[in-house]
Structures are given as C-alpha cells and as structure tokens.
Chains A and B, each alone.
Chain A
C-alpha cells in the first residue's frame, strides 16, 4: 500500500507543499488526484462536491492540472502546438486556430511572468522554459488546482527563483498549488502550509516557519544529519587523467567536447551540470561503454582509452550507473547474484567455470549486514527492494573490489534520506581510503555537500572547475553556460532567494 488514509485539504489561493522523501507515496497520491490511478477507499471533493476520476480527462475537467516531473511534451512540436494538444482550438473544417492559440499563450505568459515564445520548437528550449510550457498548458485548460511534481529537480537555482515568482503570481490570482518536493529550503521559501507524509501516511502539518531540522525529522521519522561529515581532502597521487576527450552521439553530434580533467587519490571531484549536457556520455566513455572520437583516458598511469568495460573495471575502476534499474542491476536476479554481477567469474566466486554458490552467499551475507541492505532474504529478487536499498546493493558491490577510481552517477537519485546518508558516508569513506572519486550529479545540494572540487559542465564542455565552498548561485550560473568570472560577479550581485535563505540560517 503506497497511501494509507491520507487526508489533504487544499485551499484556494494557497501554495500547499507536500513534503516527503523518495518513496513516501507523494507521487501515488498525486496520481490518484489526477485520475491516473483509482483509490481503493476514500473520496476526492472539489468545491465540496465528491468527484470520481476515470482518467486525467475527468481531472482536467474538474479543474486539476498537473505538471509531471518528466515533462509530457512532444519535442518536435512548437510551444503553441504542445499547449493545445488534446484540446485543440479549431476553426471551421478542422483548421487549427493558430492565431488564437498564440494570443492565449502570450496572454498567460504575460500575466504570470513566464516569457515563452509560442513558435519555438520545444526540444530547443531549456528545461526551465519547457516547464513553463507545461504550466501554461494546464492553465489553458482552466486549472484551478495545479499539481507540481518535484518541479525543481531539473532546474538551476536561478530558474528555481523564476519558478517561485510564477508560483506566487498564480497564488495571487487565486489558484491553488500543490507543490510536491523533498527539498526543505524550497518549501520554506514558498509554501503557505506544509503537509508531511511518510510511508504513505500524513504525519503532520507545519507552517513555513518550522526549522529545516524539524521538517527533516518529521519527514524521516527521526533526527537526521543534514550535513555530510567530512574532513578536508588530502589529495595524493594523480589517478585519473582525461586529456582532450571528445565523444559523439549516435546521431553524430559532439556531446562531449575536448574535456580535460585530473582527479587525485583521496579527493572527490563532482561533475555538476543540468541533465543532458554530456555528463552521461563522458562517464560512459570513461567506462568503455562508448567510444571516444578523440582524447585519452589514463587510470593510475595506464591508458584505458577505448578499452572494454571489463578491462576498465579490472583496472580498478568502480562504477555506480545513473539508472540502477537499467544499467546497474538485473531485477530478476537475487540480491546475492547482483552483489557479484561484475565479479562472478573471478575467485572466490568462480572455480574454473563453476560458480561457487557458497561463496556468493557468504559474500551476500556479509555485504547485506555491512551496508545495512534491507531485504527479506539474500535470495529475494533485487527488483523487490526499495530504491534506496537497490542503490546500496550497487554501491556495496562496487566498493567490495579494491578500487583506484570510483565513478558514481547520481549517487542518490530516488533514494530515501536514510540510504542517502549511508551512501554519502561510504563515498567519503572511500575517499579517505585513498580512492579517487568522481561523482556526477544534477542535485546541487549533493554536489555542494560532497565535492572537494566541482567541475561544471554545459553543452559538453567543462565551463570551469571550482573549489569546494563555491556558492550555489555561481555553480548554477555556470551550469547555464556563464563563464566563471562573470558567474561569480553575477552571483554576488543577484543572489537567489534560496541562497539568501541559506545564508540567513544559522
């Protein structure tokens, strides 16, 4: 059961934050509200009347609009076309009334301060603007209640600022907003009232004045440490050296452009960037999963450019892929089998060609207790575990080998707070043991918390490498492609709301 007797009342003209960690049941609740799933029990009232949604169409008619975490836009259509999709304004004979659509889009974007060009093709727009398109789409269908599902996950701080302004403008005009998130700072910045849910149940409400620590403990159910505990790095010898690495996509576009980076033993280098700016391809090229067109990669003095994934792994590289279900785990395999997915053919797990089930089990037992992997049995299929525990399986597997370099993509995406703490601790521990660590993350909080140095990537290039302690706004601007010097000046001149909040806090 993902939701258990949840009561939620959303008032008009109010921003109602729904706070809960990953897997708490926020999205399930919203899918029910939007008619995507049916409740087993209980009812939904709109303006005091009970309604029954058989699908999103009903929800839209009742004035509920949703902006999904993953946008539901047709990339090759223009903004105007996307906005009317499914609710086309037509003239006689089925002709699209483009003029009217354009006018309506322009009106809405002006009214709520969201500049959008109605004729731009969606795939050319930055994610922040795509999100506006989604909001306009909902407003055009006369939504009175807007559900925003993790709207800030893909945005840089400056875009989050813009979004907050838009949300406020919507509130002024009497719309209600349900703001689903697990980020405490944003909640405090924008919400009028906060409902916290944990394990499918409402555990309480709070007002925005509540402290972050208090919100976090409500959300997780115990006191949590919000800071990662780590000593200053003591970098040693150079381990990873990337020189002029370029990678082309399948379609022949240059997605990684002349990237050069050095990473030393005992330090964490974070690669920050908005999703889809070449970070993925860079990592895949390092792992041998993708062939670079130029440049070289050396690990501990050994050239691994163009090596096979197996050779790279055997050279002492650990890899936690961004999408654990797609690339990291075999869902049907047991926890024990997944824990040896990249070592099944080496001793002690193999003797000749025979798989040593005993060794597999012993290894699993040890890892499960050491990493506190919550599973009913080491023989359970890994697909039945929660996201956080699946991620622990991958991290445990990679750390079990003796590593020189560890590459972690999106270390804690879709992972609960408890597991996040554990995974962060392990990453820092690996660093302290002299492993060179590269993390790739689009979560600025995570980058700031973990990194000893921050390489910001935009459009396949490294915009600059910042030391630990660089400001959130500066990193954010560089993620948008602004050069280092300019970003620093700009971030001092125009700090964002979230960062002001951060400084204000004790």
Chain B
C-alpha cells in the first residue's frame, strides 16, 4: 500500500492513456486544423506562403523572365532581378497596408497631412472589419463543431435587411443606426437558424444546407436590387439607394480617412465571443457539444438547441460583417455584397485557429494583404491576384500542419499523439 502512495507522480506518466477512438472524418479535419496547429506552425505557414508568393511574383515579372533567358551566362542578373521584383512588390504591399515612409517625411517637413500618414493603416482596418466579423462567425460555429460554409448567404441576408432599414425607413440619429445594425444581425441570424434548425430536427448536414442557402440568398439579392424599394432612382443596374447619414457608422478619424466605427463593433463582437466561450455556461455547453455531442447529450445538454443557438449567433455575426461594409464603407447595397467574403471568412477563422482574438489578428493580416495588394498592383507590375494566391497558400500550409512541421523539423504539436505520429512518419 505504501508503494502506491510514493509512486504517485511516476504513475501519472507510466499509465497509458485510454486509446481514443478515431473521430468521424469531418471532425477529424476540424481537429487537425483547429486544434492541431500551434502558434509556431501558424506563423511558419505565413512565412512559407510569403516566400512562395515572392517567387511567384518574381517569375511572373517580364524583366525576370528575360533575364532568366541568359541565366547561365550571368546568373547574377537573374537573381538580382528576382530579388528586386519580389522585394519591390512586398515593399509596395507594406506601404499600402501599414505606412509609407515617404508620407512620414512629407509630414515631418510640413508638406503632407497626418491623414496621408495614417491612410494605409486605416485602409487595412476598413478591409479587416468585415473579415473579422465574418471570421468570428465561422470560428464560432467551428468551436461548436459546425462547419459554417454558409457565411456568404448570411452575409447577404444581413446586408439586405440592414440596407433596407438604412434607406427604407426614417428614424432619429443613433436609434436609426442601432436599428440598422440589429437588422443586419437578425438578417444573418435568421439565415443561420434555418440551418441549425434543419440539423437539429432532421440531421441535415450544415455544409449542404448552408451551400444551398448561399444560392438562395444570392438570387434574392439580385431580385430585391431590381425592386423599386431598393433600386436607386434613375438607375437600371442593380444598385440600391444611399443610406442616409443617420444610419451610417460614424467615421472615426475625420472625412480624410475611411476608418469607421465598424471596427469597434468587430472588437466588441470578439470580446463577447471570448467571454461566451471562456466564462459562460452557454459557451461551456457549445464547446461540449462541439467536442463530443454524445457525451453532451448524456450529460443532459440539448444538442439540438445548441445547434440552433450557435447558428443563430454565427449567422448574426456574418450578417454584421456585411452590415459594417454597407453602413460604414459603401453606404449602398450592390451585387458586390455577394463576393468572396464568406469564403475568406473560413480562411480567416482557420488562420485564427478558431479563437476570437486569433480571428481578429488573422482578419487584420488579410485586411492588410488586401489593402496593400491594391497599392502593389498599382505601383508594380504584380497583379492583385497574387494576394489571393498568398492567402490560399497560407491556408494550404495551415491545413497541412504535418508538412510545415516536417519542413522545419518541428516535433509534435498541440495536436498531441496524432501530430506526433504524423511527424514521425515524415522524418523517417
């Protein structure tokens, strides 16, 4: 008996863990992506993607191509051109998204204005705001074990309702904005609840239903934009009326910059998500259902109710994403709402490892890539599509943590056993 008490500590390590049954395919993918990535892997994935993106930029440059023609005669020429091409593109990307040193010099010498200095960072935040909100939507659902492919549809529904409440009704200042924001949330939430309800009631898989609802929302958008309630007078194309000043998100840094209060909404939403998941009983329930619905059900939780609630909140967050765009940046509704935001949101959520603050950082990174990409394509011969390629590459490396670990000879990861065995496989 005395032996057991003294060997307590060693017992903990020696006793093998109960082998965990392999999860279903869908959950295995989620686990691998969301839980299998350490911060290091995420960071390295971004680095690799930028390096590969740089090579792509270089090799699509006509100057580089011509110099590669006589590579063996003067390799220095080609290598120099490659470096120059990639470097100048990334410098432009940086100047377009963070800060342009030349404007700082101008400002210091009294020629430029302060808003010129802050213009790039303001653009980054403007681009990031909808990405953060939509990313939060996807990561929220992820945490509860749901794959919200349908952020796109929820985004459209949010925009339609927020837009309508913006230009279709008249209300006093402040109240009008709040009503329009709520409308955006509700529009997305309704679209989300349909998915949650279908899953809870019939077991219909959310991936299928959300994709289908994306189409419904997309065509609904086309339809309403042709109706006189929405369509801007005097226009025959699909462009809505303008949202009046009362319902606009206020600008935060004067009229010279597009920075608006949407980012505050986004950060508050992230804060709320973080609180919900870490500090509330509801979040505990969501996470339990996400990780093991059978155990959650056995412990008395209502799995169906959770699915509905989670999709309500996730849908609402997606709705807010487009609402921020419509009420804060565009001030009108167009077919542009049906863009790739919903899919970028998935990328952002994955990059942010489905954590609220991680999603905020990932959203800012993607916002910077988009803001900077515009400047880059204007200043250099690099097409803006390269930005999309870099984003895609980041996701590829995030989705293959084992590959990243193997490239950098890292061992194991937050994923534990699974990751270890994979990396073992890579090493030998």
Which residue numbers of A lie inside 8 Å of B, CB to CB?
Answer: 2, 23, 25, 199-200, 221-222, 287, 289, 308-310, 312-314, 319, 321, 324-333, 337, 341-342, 344-345, 349-350, 353-355, 357, 374-376, 383-390, 414, 416, 418
Contact = CB atoms under 8 A, between A and B. Distances in A.
A310 B301 contact: yes
B283 interface: yes
Nearest to B300: A310
Given A330-B288, A385-B17, A389-B15, A355 B283 contact: yes
Given A355-B279, A374-B15, A375-B12, A325 B21 contact: yes
B340 interface: no
Contacts of A25: 16
Interface stretch (B160-168, B290-298, B348-356): B290-298
A341 B17 contact: no
30 contacts: A2-B16, A23-B16, A199-B14, A200-B14, A221-B3, A222-B1, A308-B300, A309-B298, A310-B302, A325-B20, A327-B294, A327-B295, A328-B295, A328-B298, A329-B292, A330-B288, A337-B284, A350-B281, A353-B280, A353-B281, A354-B281, A355-B279, A355-B280, A376-B13, A383-B20, A384-B17, A385-B17, A386-B17, A386-B18, A389-B15
B4 interface: yes
Contact of A331 (B14, B20, B296, B301): B20
Contacts of B302: 308, 310
Nearest 9 pairs of A and B residues by beta carbon = A310-B300, A386-B15, A342-B299, A387-B18, A341-B299, A327-B298, A330-B292, A345-B281, A309-B300
A115 B265 CA distance: 74
Contacts of A308: 300, 302
B4 A344 contact: no
B298 A321 contact: yes
B21 A344 contact: no
Interface in B301-318: 301-302
Contacts of A357: 279
Contacts of A387: 18
Contacts of A330: 287-288, 291-292, 295-296
A223 to B, nearest CB: 8
A390 B18 contact: yes
Given A221-B3, A342-B299, A375-B12, 9 more contacts: A308-B302, A309-B297, A324-B18, A330-B295, A345-B285, A349-B281, A354-B279, A354-B281, A389-B15
A324 B17 CA distance: 13
B84 interface: no
Interface in B369-419: 416
Counting chain A CB atoms within 10 Å of each CB, the highest count among B1, B8, B282 belongs to B282
B284 A355 contact: yes
B102 interface: no
A353 B282 CA distance: 7
Nearest to A284: B298
Interface in B202-228: none
Nearest to A25: B16
Contacts of A355: 279-281, 283-284
A419 B353 CA distance: 37
A360 to B, nearest CB: 9
A373 to B, nearest CB: 10
A25 B19 CA distance: 12
B35 interface: yes
B19 to A, nearest CB: 9
Contacts of B14: 199-200
B294 A326 contact: yes
A319 B294 CA distance: 14
B280 A329 contact: no
A94 to B, nearest CB: 33
B18 to A, nearest CB: 4
Contacts of A329: 292, 295
B11 interface: yes
Contacts of B300: 308-310, 312-314, 342
Interface residues of B, number: 36
B287 to A, nearest CB: 7
Contacts of B3: 221-222
Contact of A326 (B17, B284, B288, B295): B295
A330 B416 CA distance: 16
A386 B298 CA distance: 21
Contacts of B416: 384
A11 to B, nearest CB: 29
Counting chain A CB atoms within 10 Å of each CB, the highest count among B3, B12, B295 belongs to B295
Contacts of B18: 23, 324-325, 383, 385-387, 390, 414
A385 B18 CA distance: 7
A346 to B, nearest CB: 9
Nearest to B3: A222
Contacts of A376: 12-13
Given A222-B4, A344-B284, A414-B18, A289 B296 contact: no
Contacts of A313: 299-300
B1 A319 contact: no
Contacts of B291: 330-333
B32 to A, nearest CB: 13
A381 to B, nearest CB: 8
Nearest to B35: A332
A325 B22 CA distance: 11
A33 to B, nearest CB: 18
Contact of B281 (A328, A344, A388): A344
B48 to A, nearest CB: 28
Contact of A333 (B1, B35, B287): B287
Given A325-B18, A330-B288, A385-B17, A289 B297 contact: yes
Interface in B240-284: 279-284
A333 B295 CA distance: 11
Contacts of B16: 2, 23, 25, 386
A327 B283 CA distance: 20
Contacts of A321: 298
Interface string B29-41: 0000001000000
B94 to A, nearest CB: 39
Nearest to A338: B295
Counting chain B CB atoms within 10 Å of each CB, the highest count among A313, A354, A355, A375 belongs to A355
B271 to A, nearest CB: 15
Contacts of B35: 332
B424 to A, nearest CB: 11
A28 B394 CA distance: 39
Contacts of A416: 15
A313 B300 CA distance: 7
Contacts of B4: 222, 418
A174 B17 CA distance: 38
A17 B277 CA distance: 51
Contacts of A374: 8, 11-12, 15
Contacts of A375: 12
A186 to B, nearest CB: 24
Contacts of A328: 295, 298
Nearest to B284: A344
Nearest to A357: B279
A2 B15 CA distance: 9
A55 B11 CA distance: 32
Nearest to A345: B281
Counting chain A CB atoms within 10 Å of each CB, the highest count among B287, B292, B297 belongs to B292
Contacts of B297: 289, 309, 327
Contacts of A342: 299-300
Contacts of A331: 20, 291-292
A321 B302 CA distance: 18
Contacts of A332: 35, 291
Contacts of B20: 325, 331, 383
Contacts of B285: 344-345
A351 to B, nearest CB: 9
A133 B35 CA distance: 42
A310 B304 CA distance: 14
Contacts of B8: 374
